[in-house]
Homo-oligomer: A and B are copies of this chain.
Amino acid sequence: MAKREIKVYSDLSGANAVWADKIRKLREEKNVVMLNLIGSPGCGKTMLLEKTVERLSAKLRFAVLEGDIETTRDAERLDKLGVLVSQLVTKGACHLSAKLVHKAFVDLPLDELDMVIVENVGNLVCPAAMDIGETAKIAVLSVAEGEDKPAKYPRLFREAKGIVITKTDLLPYVSFNMRACLNDIKQINGTIPVIKVSAKDGSGMEDWVKFLTSFSEKPR
């Protein structure tokens, strides 16, 4: 596959809501779904996306915006798999702003896309409070983090339209009480879909891709 240049964007200031609304309007005009993946550093967002590329490419046309404080490592990982990806570098900021996302979003070939997946900066707190004009926030939680995280960091789990519990291959080696976790989630956001996946052994990946495609109203 030909080596493409990965686009790199850095942060800008400005009123967040204005930029979020611009993204929302453009999304609706172009009929593009935008999903905002939020979770702790190391919860497995990038690996989940790596393993999603082939399966999701068979269903719809999508691009990825990779949010990080520093480095272009995550975009490089996805670029290798042939998916269209840009890197958003916040240079210290703990979340993606709508202005930075907008800058990258308008540069995408939106007429040729059904979906844009944004991987936010690894942070279970701040990105949950930031509107980037997305269709939905998706919470990502790994079993290595422990079952108490929804109760201790409720805002994300309350605002999300779906929760992915990742790294289920580690369940035999960590103390993660799935029942307690699902119970806490039910208290916070009763009807939310919860998908359990292991990007490593592939279990649950079909459910995850089905969940993603459910957001798109124009499958290819």
Q: Give the B-binding residues of A (Cβ under 8 A).
A: 40-43, 68-71, 73-74, 92, 94, 121-126, 129, 142, 144-146, 148-149, 151-155, 167, 169-170, 173-174
Please name the residue on chain B nearest to A149 by beta carbon: B41
**A151 to B40, Cβ gap below 8 A?**
no
Which of A43, A122, A151, A154 has the most chain B CB atoms closer than 10 A to its own CB? Answer: A122
Chain B residues near A148 (CB-CB < 8 A): 71, 73
Which of A42, A126, A152 has the most chain B CB atoms closer than 10 A to its own CB? Answer: A42
Cross-chain contact of A144 among B42, B69, B74 (Cβ < 8 A)? B42
Which of A70, A123, A125, A151 has the most chain B CB atoms closer than 10 A to its own CB? Answer: A125
A94 to B154, CA, bound (A): 12
**B94 to A94, Cβ gap below 8 A?**
yes
Minimum CB–CB distance for A1 against chain B, Å? 23
